[in-house]
Homo-oligomer: A and B are copies of this chain.
């Protein structure tokens, strides 16, 4: 399972403040903490209040790369931020994200391809997030076909069926779990699958419990990657336990520690 740390996001007050003040120390600390907790990639998002999204993203990239040799996921709705960001990355990047809208795909697939980056494809379009499995699958096929037509390697495509908050659309979690398995048979090689996990529990009580219970189900259903809070130790414990239950690593009595050390 690929773990993408979600915490360097201007949605969080502390991060927004650090970006505004160009406070490297706070950002670098949060980067290192996430990597130590098991994140393999860090997501960067300047947040909705950024007055200079491009400048802030480039500063974030530089700040994190100063202290960590790590792949970064560029989380922005602006294609110029993605384009300039990708050009600056030292390591393989991730474009987070494209929708299934034609004009987005026309811009972002070539951009990701040019920079040898991965691409997260959300199965939503201008009409919003689908309410069922079939429409998610339809949009996923559309994204895969666009990638194939443009010669984008499918191993670098991560399809995200978009999980909605349980308190808003309780019937959607099951649809998302079901479609994760179906995404894998769209093409050969299979596209990978990803989720922005925390969205499930937005606005609910017991967020960690809901996130980790759903994560166990999603891993069993074929989830390859998740954007999540790696500092949630119980969530990471569940992720590791799920991998051992599914026989992806050889069990040993101290399996949690062994996994974290590797």
Contact = CB atoms under 8 A, between A and B. Distances in A.
A219 B247 CA distance: 19
A2 to B, nearest CB: 19
A254 B205 CA distance: 7
Given A220-B220, A251-B166, A253-B205, A173 B245 contact: yes
A76 B171 CA distance: 41
Say whether chain A's binding surface is mostly helix, strand, loop, or mixed: helix
Contacts of A166: 244-245, 251
Contacts of A246: 173-174
Given A220-B221, A241-B206, A253-B204, A173 B247 contact: yes
A256 interface: yes
A12 B219 CA distance: 34
Interface in A172-217: 173-174, 177, 200, 204-206, 209-210, 213-214, 216-217
Interface of A: 166-167, 170-171, 173-174, 177, 200, 204-206, 209-210, 213-214, 216-217, 219-221, 237-238, 241-242, 244-247, 250-251, 253-256
Given A166-B251, A206-B237, A216-B216, 17 more contacts: A167-B253, A173-B245, A174-B246, A177-B220, A205-B253, A206-B241, A206-B256, A209-B238, A209-B241, A213-B241, A214-B216, A214-B245, A216-B217, A217-B219, A217-B242, A217-B245, A220-B220
